[in-house]
Structure 1
Amino acid sequence: MARSTSSHSKPGRTLLLLLALILALGGTMFLQKAFTPKLGLDLAGGTTVTLSPVTQNGAAPPEEILDRAVNIIRDRVNGTGISDAEVAKSGDNIIISIPGVGQSEAIQLVATTAELRFRQVLAMEMTQLAQEQLATNAPTPSGSPPASPSTSSSPAVQPPSTSPSAQPSASPTGKALSSALTSPTPAPSATDTQKQGDNKNDNKGDKKATPTPSATAPPEQDPNAGINTEGIDPAVLKQFTALDCTDPKKRGQGVQDDPNKQYAGCESDGTFKYVLDVAKVVGTDIDTATSGVQQGSTEWVVQLDFKSKGAAEWSKLTSAAYNSQEPRNKVAVVLDGVVITAPNIISPIPGGRAEITGGFNQQTSTDLAEQLKYGALPLKFERSSIETVSSTLGQDQLEGGLISGIIGLVLVVVYSMLYYRGLGIVAVLSLVVASILTYTAVVVLGQNAGFRLSLPHIIGLVVSIGITADSFIVYFERIRDEMKEGRRSLRAAVEVAWVRARRTILIADAVMFIAAVVLYALAVGGVAGFAFAMGLTTLIDIVVVFMFTKPFIALLARWKFFAKGHPLSGLDAERMSVADSGGSTGRKTTPQEA
């Protein structure tokens, strides 16, 4: 049996696989130009944001609502759970500490309510800003407004599997169509109409017709002329008339709109303003939100999956819009009081799945999906303070932690060399490989998963030295036990001992990994960071023992220095304390074992 096990062992192939893994991690570091780990709040400083709740009646928020907000914000700023961000309550305030300097995106993310509203459009009007943008762009022979930076991102909400014929481009959508319907005054394209009149009238008639527009457009003209006001709250209509969307400060960004009331709001770029019906679908009706590239195109979209109740309401809303006239065939997507997109509904959308398009790029689509995925804050918050903080530990403490790790590593190496002699080389090289894997994993995780190295992480990494050393000590002792019996060669003992040792190693690592997972799931902050580091190094320990320690010993067993029990190999009879007058302990073999 030992012969069969040994003959099927292919240590060279296993070592090549390990080398490929190390090269893959190193190549990732090189391609991303990331060669050092990112540091956490205690080692590199960061930004502290204090959020104060704002309620509609000015009263203190309920404790359970505040706890829910803390959990949602913690998920947002630390979505992967390993970025070392800290979120805590302080009275009615919430204090968020974010590692690194200049985390503007994260600060914006924690402060927003991210409560998405889906509202049917009741009325809309192109603003002066949009008209100026259209006039600035080169005119086209056609009478319809041309595509421009303000209209090139014509949005759509549609089922994920919309056929090409149902794409927004197949029918007039978005801003270009609505401009002709909402402007009661002569638009730039009115010159085309006047030219058509010139073909029908003589010079005399043309002269009489010239002053007509000024005579029929007095200053007292109804600003809502041409708008279907049926079903619109007069108070909201008044707000719509007075709404100035050309000024970014007046677009209502961050407004906590009431989903149960009609609402007058601006588009995010200020090109349109809207009267919107009550919200039939809200952010809490969303199950998941992801970003990706639209099938068959290069456009980035946000894909939504609704919960069962939300799916039913979404189907009703899109059906109602589909059966309405322009502009009420649109559904506006409102985030924090601002319309981020208001597409035509080109067909009812059952099934609870939809896509939001609107000229997104990868970053903007990812940001929106992140906001929606982590739920809606139950409260409106304002940033009462934003401070840049320095590291609380600094370079000296970082160096102290690294020095302690090096000391522990050196002590393990010295002990291994004194006790195991030649086998101690395997222990040292195993620790070197484990260090390389750990370092590259920390750098890659920092670049791609937001992992930041803090003091609790360093403690977890130092503790891992003992975990790794314990694994190859178990294996070494199993090999020596097999050779003490005097019936196996070293090559046979290496394979038989591995079958027995790996069970012990896996059980020990499984217990450690389960403890790390439980601690990580139940803890937050530094304790969770320690648990993550411990779990990571436990997995690395398994990789090192299985892909380096065992196959490397299998290669050494073919050398006479180890196979013949040289006094410096650590496998000699005296070292293993076995009395054998023939001096051939562990080296008497049967013809089959040889």
Structure 2
Amino acid sequence: MGAAVVLQNAYIPKFGLDLAGGTTVTLSPETLDNKAPSQESLDRAVNIIRDRVNGQGISDAQVARASDNILIQIPGAGQEEALKLVATTAELRFRQVLAVAPAQEQPAALPSDAASPAPSGTLPAVTPSAAASPAASPAGRAVSKALQAPSPGASAEAGQGNQQQGNNQQGGNQQGNGKKKNAEPSPAASPLVTTQPSADPNAAADPLAGQDLSGIDPAVLQQFKDLKCTANNKGAGVLDDPNKQFAACDESGTAKYILDVAAVQGSEISTASAGVRQDTGEWVVNLDFKSAGATKWSELTNKTFNSQPPRNQIGAVLDGVVVTAPVSNGRITGGKTEISGSFTSQTATELADQLKYGALPLKFKVSSTVSVSSTLGADQLRGGLIAGGIGLVIVMLYLLLYYRGLGLVGIASLMVATVVTYLSVVVLSANAGFRLSLPHIIGLVVSIGITADSFIVYFERIRDEMKEGRRSLRTAVEVAWKRARRTILVADAVMFIAALVLYFLAVGDVAGFAFAMGLTTVIDIVVVFLFTKPLMSLVARMKFFAKGHPLSGLDAERMARTDSSSTSTLQEA
């Protein structure tokens, strides 16, 4: 841990809301019918947002309801990444593409042998796969270029202006069908060009000329025509109703789509994780659908596979924006899908976390974002640290007065435990989002007594073995350890279980206290087993302790006097 602290140049832990202040965000729900959201959906949203902003529950973020709004307090200033997680619905929906056209108007006339060049971007091609703009979105979410069944052997091959992925082989018939599909590539598969370039000015004025518009809601057609796409598009303010057809832009603002009702929704995703493909080394997001979602996904890929362009594409819509529109080249079964594209470690992990922590049942807008000052500040932090220091000194004095020279072993163990605890807090703060708050400090101070108890149990076992000269110190240290370690483990196990239950049943400050108590309990076991016991084995070889010097705390007269006084007290009682 010391090496990690030095390498990361992180020597001071981050502080929580009560000690360092932070940002307060107010989220207001938006519903399709403008009615008040249900209490159940708000409660679910609170739980999901708490998971997102609080990670493993140690970041000291606070999430609570205030009427129909949700208040989030995020420790630290400038928590932009956490705000993105809070503001987004992260609702991924897979829809069949019904029609597609370039977002910008094309020239009125084009020679038949020179179609208008597509805007920046590339063409999706095969096996639930697509190629799109390589640029990541401002939100840190990469535009994906492939949705496919996980296959280490599949790799992208770049062409001139287009990218094509290897076929997903699901059996002899599907493989044969895939070859048939690819034998006659159609411009209609591209979201960036019209189906049939024409010199007719009237045809050029209609971006959907030549495409099959059957089954498309006239209102959605009008919505499509009125839709204005821009770079870094955020859905053009249109709510994504999964039960209705939908017109949307892609993130680069170069193409717009008409999509069918959602066939598979984000709630059907069981898990999501970021990883690296072994064959290409590119970052991908792996999706694992639930049983019902796997069936729906198989049906969707089969349906699109048997459709004509551009209806053989599957639009992946995230937060009202088309992030990819791959061409289906076969049915994908098994419920496992891979999203690949221009991902980095950060962007792949961010998208996986959003999907893993669940899709919000409501769409929210940020009503206000306010920076707040710390509620306690430096004075209270200093007071907590002074209290902890005083408690540590009192325990050390007690060990010296009662155990004399043997107490030095206990003091050394306490110092090691203190250093390990501090390093653990710093490492967790740098790598796991841990933020030190007053409840954490209280938990750490209380744990001083827990740590001292372990040493005392061991020391008393040693003295019991040495009374009346029955054993030598070296023998007593080993025999006493066998008896003491069971007691230490049982006591620490009870304390750890209590901390664990409190951590999972409570939230906020109480959970923070439980986390600190559980952490120090684990550290206590590590220190006793890896430091205190080996140190006592070395001490037993020293004449000062082995011969029972009066100041060693192991002299026969002192132990006998302690034993007789204890017996007298018990008889009188």
Could you tell me which amino acid in structure 2 is paired with residue 482 of structure 1? E
Q: After the TM superposition, which of the residue ranges 36-45 and 307-316 deviates more from structure 2?
A: 36-45
The 5-angstrom pairing of residues 187-198 of structure 1 reads: none
Among 355, 362, 366, the residue aligned to 1:379: 362
What corresponds to 1:279 in structure 2? 262
Say which one has the larger Rg.
1
The 5-angstrom pairing of residues 188-337 of structure 1 reads: 213=199, 216-218=200-202, 221-246=205-230, 248=232, 251-252=234-235, 255-337=238-320
Counterpart Cα distance in 1 of 2:69 and 2:250:
31
What corresponds to 1:110 in structure 2? 86
What corresponds to 1:9 in structure 2? none
Q: Find out whether 1:159 has 2:155 as its counterpart.
A: no
Q: Find out whether 1:432 has 2:432 as its counterpart.
A: no
Q: SS in structure 2 opposite 1:417? A: helix
Report the Cα offset of residue 325 of structure 1. Answer: 2.1
- The answer to whether the 8 A contact 1:154-1:175 is kept is no
Q: Find out whether 1:489 has 2:501 as its counterpart.
A: no
Q: After the TM superposition, which of the residue ranges 151-160 and 58-67 deviates more from structure 2?
A: 151-160
Report the Cα offset of residue 181 of structure 1. Answer: 4.9
Change beyond 3 A, Cα 1:410–1:150 = closer
Q: After the TM superposition, which of the residue ranges 288-297 and 310-319 deviates more from structure 2?
A: 288-297
- The answer to whether the 8 A contact 2:381-2:438 is kept is yes
- The answer to whether the 8 A contact 1:126-1:178 is kept is no
Among 382, 396, 399, the residue aligned to 1:399: 382
Q: SS in structure 2 opposite 1:376? A: coil
- The answer to whether the 8 A contact 1:294-1:300 is kept is yes
Report the Cα offset of residue 358 of structure 1. Answer: 2.5
Among 514, 518, 527, the residue aligned to 1:544: 527
Report the Cα offset of residue 62 of structure 1. Answer: 2.1
What corresponds to 2:451 in structure 1? 468
Deviations 1:31-90 (A, max 9, x none): 222111111111111111011122223332222221111111111111211111111111
Deviations 1:405-437 (A, max 9, x none): 000000011111111111111011101110111
Counterpart Cα distance in 1 of 2:154 and 2:432:
36
Counterpart Cα distance in 2 of 1:264 and 1:241:
9
Counterpart Cα distance in 2 of 1:532 and 1:504:
23
What corresponds to 2:321 in structure 1? 338
Q: Find out whether 1:78 has 2:61 as its counterpart.
A: no
Could you tell me which amino acid in structure 2 is paired with residue 50 of structure 1? T
What corresponds to 2:190 in structure 1? 178
Change beyond 3 A, Cα 1:537–1:174 = farther
Change beyond 3 A, Cα 1:247–1:109 = same
Which ranges in structure 1 are unaligned for 5 or more consecutive residues? 1-24, 139-145, 187-212, 581-594
Report the Cα offset of residue 380 of structure 1. Answer: 1.7
Deviations 1:347-377 (A, max 9, x none): 2110000011231112211111111111111
- The answer to whether the 8 A contact 1:174-1:343 is kept is no
Report the Cα offset of residue 221 of structure 1. Answer: 4.6
Counterpart Cα distance in 2 of 1:448 and 1:129:
48
Report the Cα offset of residue 248 of structure 1. Answer: 4.8
What corresponds to 1:354 in structure 2? 337
Q: Find out whether 1:558 has 2:554 as its counterpart.
A: no
Counterpart Cα distance in 1 of 2:378 and 2:74:
19
Counterpart Cα distance in 1 of 2:327 and 2:165:
11
Q: SS in structure 2 opposite 1:483? A: helix
Counterpart Cα distance in 1 of 2:532 and 2:255:
67
What corresponds to 2:13 in structure 1? 37
What corresponds to 1:572 in structure 2? 555
Q: SS in structure 2 opposite 1:574? A: helix
Deviations 1:81-116 (A, max 9, x none): 111111111112111111111111111211211111
Could you tell me which amino acid in structure 2 is paired with residue 296 of structure 1? D
The 5-angstrom pairing of residues 509-528 of structure 1 reads: 509-528=492-511
Q: After the TM superposition, which of the residue ranges 498-507 and 311-320 deviates more from structure 2?
A: 498-507
Q: SS in structure 2 opposite 1:155? A: strand
- The answer to whether the 8 A contact 1:156-1:344 is kept is no
Q: SS in structure 2 opposite 1:164? A: coil
Could you tell me which amino acid in structure 1 is paired with residue 268 of structure 2? D
Residue-pair matches, total: 520
Could you tell me which amino acid in structure 2 is paired with residue 156 of structure 1? A
Counterpart Cα distance in 1 of 2:308 and 2:53:
42
Among 115, 121, 124, the residue aligned to 2:100: 124
Could you tell me which amino acid in structure 1 is paired with residue 16 of structure 2? G
Report the Cα offset of residue 294 of structure 1. Answer: 2.1
Change beyond 3 A, Cα 1:78–1:423 = same
Deviations 1:164-194 (A, max 9, x none): 37984348899996157526556xxxxxxxx
- Please give the TM-score of this superposition, normalised by the length of structure 2: 0.85
- Please give the TM-score of this superposition, normalised by the length of structure 1: 0.82
The 5-angstrom pairing of residues 92-111 of structure 1 reads: 92-111=68-87
Among 162, 165, 169, the residue aligned to 1:169: 165
Counterpart Cα distance in 1 of 2:144 and 2:498:
52
Percent identical among aligned pairs is 65
Q: After the TM superposition, which of the residue ranges 310-319 and 149-158 deviates more from structure 2?
A: 149-158
Q: After the TM superposition, which of the residue ranges 516-525 and 60-69 deviates more from structure 2?
A: 60-69
- The answer to whether the 8 A contact 1:150-1:271 is kept is no
